[in-house]
């Protein structure tokens, strides 16, 4: 599991979006301006094949290239691989590397050619180092899982081969239609064997730019902990024409001063700044930039409510009796009860605590998988799910599952589902009201405000005589230990938690839905409070049926439309179960002011060269972007994107040989 993919503070994740910043911090030359960026965590290593932390990836994605990357429409396009083919059985991917690409030192001195062998070296180094992101490929590449387990000690038996200097081949265990998107992770980037041997344990040393080699658009010049990181344009880069900044400066920012970005922007320091509608000074910011504040596009990560179906720990609890504990357990195992909670949440009010009333709707999400994450023909994934939901009961009639609107909040439906649940639960001896412990980090005003919003709307919809949300304000350490960092499921100390966020690893619905398989113990622990695949509560709520739906979807590897349709069935089951209740996006949908030309950067939600951290292609502009300009650019981009994606999909057939 990637550490950046699962988080315990939804509000904070949302706030972390949009802290890009660009400026001229020193001279300039004819080729372009300098780009200044804000970062909030120092990397503990520069070893891009081993680390899966954003602190490393947001640097290394800009200095090392892999096989493929994304264009501004989200299509995978050539990077070091100028072309590729896949066998008809979907098991063998062959990449033709561009010739003449070199490795360079941090001083810009040529070191060696980039060859296919470098990719083999990179994966072996990642495997031998137990890289954090190995989960992405260990069950994908033939022979890799055996090498990692020790069943096979010869790496030459692993399915990655250098056919010649400029031909690389991967052999997969089973077809993966989304395999190419995985090549955009540092895990699969090349490493020069000679340089690796010379550096030994000092390869990728966190504060030493000379500890790695470079083949990407920029070179790392310096790194000072909790101060600054500086990069400069690689003048010998193979695709130099698409690099529009001469230098990058990353300045440390701890997020404590919400208004610092706007002040720096106004002084000419930043060229994009996040603004905060709920901050004390926002009225003056809004007045000053009334025509310029716009909201970024919602990201792909999803913030949700997890439901603990087998709680064992009550260190942090408002419950006073064993009867209250038992009643809550029984209630959370009842699907009608969980659905009543799902329908009772006013998500607009909830997100208003962060984005203000005007920007709240943009951040709302009604399915765990974003409704437009993939498409089957002219139907979005959300359209496919909507078709399936009609078979799950009248309560889902008329529900709009598209992002950006509150499709689930319905107090009358909440009351109806609760009435059904109450009748059944009373027959089981359940006492009312049901008390639900909701933990929150007391140091985060925004998270506390969102918890209070949940309490208010749920109790209003269902009646406090029926359901009471007990907000347990904890220290940051206690919050982490009771949720994300709990040692095991038995230590998960909550009934419902709004502190879980998940983002995709690759362009396939399985990257969201597979984390809830009964065998995905680390994730079921965090989202549902159990970690044993044979857990009785998991069986009682039907999660083995969910496993079967996922297995069926995974077995379809040739027809993407059919594959997505099957995953839509699994998503429909998950939505109906209300075991995981989607709330908002986990990133994006943030109000900003900017001097960066809209929609010029790479557009990708997965991989390390994603939309947030990759500076190649991004273009500056002198004037502050107006809201009108942004919206017009977005409308134009969406039209172009649709046409471009359709063409790219058709062109895929040319690669099958």
Taking only the tens place, the pLDDT of each residue in 159-202 is 999 999 999 999 999 999 889 999 999 999 999 999 999 999 99
**CA 300 to chain CA mean position, Å:** 6
| pLDDT at residue 10 is higher than 60 | no
- Alpha-carbon Rg for the chain, nearest whole angstrom, is 25
Q: How confident is the model at residue 588 (pLDDT cuts 50, 70, 90)?
A: confident
What are 248's strand-pairing partners?
Answer: 35, 231
Distance between CA atoms of residues 606 and 614, nearest Å: 12
Q: How confident is the model at residue 491 (pLDDT cuts 50, 70, 90)?
A: very high
Distance between CA atoms of residues 284 and 529, nearest Å: 45
The mean of the pLDDT values for the chain is 91
**Taking the CB of residue 643, how many other CB atoms lie within 10 A of it?**
11
Task: Please report, rounded to a whole number, the percentage of residues in the chain having pLDDT higher than 70.
Answer: 95
pLDDT at 458: 98
| CB of 186 closer than 8 Å to CB of 608 | yes
Q: Report the range of poorest mean pLDDT among 440-449, 456-465, 590-599, 638-647.
A: 440-449
The angle at the Cα of 144, spanning 614 to 158, to the nearest 5 degrees, equals 100
| pLDDT at residue 34 is higher than 90 | no
Q: In a 3-state reduction of DSSP, which class is residue 49? A: coil
Is the Cα dihedral 116, 117, 122, 126 positive or negative?
A: positive
| pLDDT at residue 28 is higher than 80 | no
Place of tokens 């998940």: 502
Mean pLDDT of 84-93: 96
Task: Please report, rounded to a whole number, the percentage of residues in the chain having pLDDT higher than 90.
Answer: 76
Q: Report the range of poorest mean pLDDT among 32-41, 404-413, 551-560.
A: 32-41
Q: Which two tokens stand for residue 402?
A: 């598209």
Mean pLDDT of 528-537: 96
Orientation angle between helical segments 445-462 and 411-426, nearest 10 degrees: 70
Q: How confident is the model at residue 255 (pLDDT cuts 50, 70, 90)?
A: low
Distance between CA atoms of residues 135 and 148, nearest Å: 11
| pLDDT at residue 612 is higher than 80 | no
| pLDDT at residue 27 is higher than 60 | no
The angle at the Cα of 215, spanning 599 to 148, to the nearest 5 degrees, equals 100
Q: CB-based burial of residue 138 (10 Å sphere; 0-12 exposed, 13-18 middle, 19+ buried)?
A: middle
| CB of 599 closer than 8 Å to CB of 28 | no
Is the Cα dihedral 415, 343, 510, 304 positive or negative?
A: negative
pLDDT at 12: 33
Q: How confident is the model at residue 256 (pLDDT cuts 50, 70, 90)?
A: low
Distance between CA atoms of residues 272 and 595, nearest Å: 6
pLDDT at 276: 86
**Taking the CB of residue 82, how many other CB atoms lie within 10 A of it?**
15
Closest CA to 54 of 69, 42, 67: 42
Closest CA to 91 of 179, 201, 212, 216: 179
Q: How confident is the model at residue 405 (pLDDT cuts 50, 70, 90)?
A: very high
**Contact partners, residue 59, CB within 8 Å, separation at least 6:** 43, 46, 220, 229, 231, 250
Span 110-167, pLDDT tens digits = 999 999 999 999 999 999 999 988 888 998 999 999 999 999 999 999 999 999 999 9
Span 213-234, pLDDT tens digits = 999 999 999 999 989 999 999 9
Global pTM? 0.78
pLDDT at 165: 98
Q: Which two tokens stand for residue 278?
A: 């709920």
Mean pLDDT of 19-32: 33
Distance between CA atoms of residues 311 and 488, nearest Å: 11
Mean pLDDT of 241-255: 86
Mean pLDDT of 476-483: 90
Distance between CA atoms of residues 30 and 614, nearest Å: 22
Q: Which two tokens stand for residue 192?
A: 């020069």
pLDDT at 419: 98
pLDDT at 55: 86
| pLDDT at residue 526 is higher than 60 | yes
Distance between CA atoms of residues 113 and 327, nearest Å: 67
Backbone φ and ψ of 416, nearest 5°: -65, -45
**Contact partners, residue 369, CB within 8 Å, separation at least 6:** 302, 381, 385, 509, 512, 513, 567, 571
Span 313-325, pLDDT tens digits = 999 999 999 999 9
pLDDT at 36: 79
Q: Which two tokens stand for residue 161?
A: 């081969």
Q: Report the range of poorest mean pLDDT among 333-347, 512-526, 629-643.
A: 512-526
| pLDDT at residue 601 is higher than 70 | yes
Sequence-distant contacts of 235-244: CB under 8 A, at least 24 apart: 235/108, 236/102, 236/104, 236/108, 236/110, 238/98, 238/100, 238/101, 239/616, 242/217, 242/616, 242/617, 243/32, 243/217, 243/218, 243/615, 243/616, 244/32, 244/33, 244/617, 244/618, 244/619, 244/620
Q: Report the range of poorest mean pLDDT among 265-279, 525-539, 561-575.
A: 265-279
| CB of 354 closer than 8 Å to CB of 14 | yes
Q: CB-based burial of residue 645 (10 Å sphere; 0-12 exposed, 13-18 middle, 19+ buried)?
A: middle
- Strands 434-441 and 467-474 turn out to be parallel
Distance between CA atoms of residues 493 and 484, nearest Å: 10
pLDDT at 269: 77
pLDDT at 31: 37
């Amino acid at each position: 599991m990637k550490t950046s993919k699962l988080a315990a503070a939804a509000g904070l994740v949302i706030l972390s979006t949009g802290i890009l910043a660009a400026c001229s911090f020193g001279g300039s030359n004819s080729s372009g301006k300098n780009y200044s960026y804000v970062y909030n965590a120092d990397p503990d290593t520069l070893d891009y094949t081993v680390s899966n932390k954003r602190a490393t990836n947001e640097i290394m994605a800009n200095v090392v290239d892999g096989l493929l990357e994304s264009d501004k429409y989200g299509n995978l396009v050539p990077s070091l691989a100028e072309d590729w083919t896949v066998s008809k059985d979907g098991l063998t991917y062959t990449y033709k590397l561009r010739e003449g690409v070199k490795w360079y030192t941090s001083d810009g001195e040529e070191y060696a050619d980039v060859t296919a062998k470098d990719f083999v070296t990179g994966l072996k180094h990642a495997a031998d180092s137990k890289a954090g992101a190995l989960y992405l490929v260990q069950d994908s590449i033939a022979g890799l899982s055996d090498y990692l387990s020790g069943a096979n000690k010869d790496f030459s038996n692993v399915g990655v081969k250098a056919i010649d200097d400029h031909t690389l081949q991967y052999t997969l265990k089973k077809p993966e239609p989304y395999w190419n998107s995985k090549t955009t992770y540092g895990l699969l980037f090349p490493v020069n064997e000679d340089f690796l041997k010379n550096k030994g344990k000092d390869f990728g040393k966190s504060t030493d730019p000379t500890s790695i080699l470079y083949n990407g658009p920029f070179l790392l010049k310096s790194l000072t902990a909790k101060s600054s990181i500086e990069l400069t344009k690689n003048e010998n880069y193979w695709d130099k024409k698409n690099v529009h900044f001469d230098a990058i400066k990353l300045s440390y920012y701890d997020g404590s001063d919400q208004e610092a970005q706007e002040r720096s922007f106004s002084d000419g320091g930043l060229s994009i700044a996040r603004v905060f509608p709920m901050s004390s000074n926002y009225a003056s910011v809004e007045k000053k930039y009334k025509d310029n504040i716009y909201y970024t596009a919602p990201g792909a990560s999803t913030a949700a409510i997890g439901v603990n179906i087998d709680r064992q720990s009550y260190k942090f609890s408002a419950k006073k009796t064993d009867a209250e504990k038992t009643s809550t357990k029984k209630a959370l195992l009842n699907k009608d009860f969980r659905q009543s909670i799902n329908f009772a949440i006013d998500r607009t009010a909830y997100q208003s605590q962060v984005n203000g009333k005007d920007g709240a709707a943009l951040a709302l999400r009604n399915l765990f998988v974003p409704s437009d994450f993939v498409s089957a023909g002219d139907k979005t994934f959300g359209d496919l799910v909507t078709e399936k939901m009609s078979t799950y009961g009248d309560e889902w009639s008329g529900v709009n599952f598209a992002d950006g609107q509150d499709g689930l909040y319905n107090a009358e439906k909440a009351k109806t589902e609760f009435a059904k649940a109450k009748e059944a639960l009373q027959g089981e001896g359940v006492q009312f009201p049901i008390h639900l412990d909701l933990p929150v980090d007391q140091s985060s005003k925004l998270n506390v405000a969102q918890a209070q919003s949940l309490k208010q709307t749920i109790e209003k919809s269902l009646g406090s005589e029926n359901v009471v949300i007990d907000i347990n304000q904890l220290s940051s350490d206690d919050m982490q230990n009771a949720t994300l960092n709990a040692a095991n499921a038995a230590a998960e100390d909550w009934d419902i938690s709004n502190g879980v966020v998940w983002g995709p690893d690759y362009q396939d619905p399985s990257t969201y839905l597979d984390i809830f398989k009964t065998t995905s113990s680390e994730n079921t622990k965090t989202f549902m409070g159990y970690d044993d695949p044979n857990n009785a509560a998991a069986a009682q709520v039907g999660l083995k049926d969910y496993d079967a739906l996922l297995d069926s979807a995974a077995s379809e590897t040739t027809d993407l439309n059919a594959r997505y349709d099957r995953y839509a069935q699994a998503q429909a089951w998950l939505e109906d179960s209300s075991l995981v209740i989607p709330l908002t996006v986990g990133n994006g949908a943030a109000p900003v002011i900017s001097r960066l030309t809209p929609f010029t950067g790479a557009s990708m939600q997965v991989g390390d060269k994603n939309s947030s951290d990759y500076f190649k292609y991004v273009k500056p502009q002198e004037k502050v972007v107006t809201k009108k300009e942004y919206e017009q650019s977005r409308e134009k981009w969406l039209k172009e994107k649709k046409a471009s994606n359709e063409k790219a999909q058709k062109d895929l057939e040319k690669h099958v040989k």
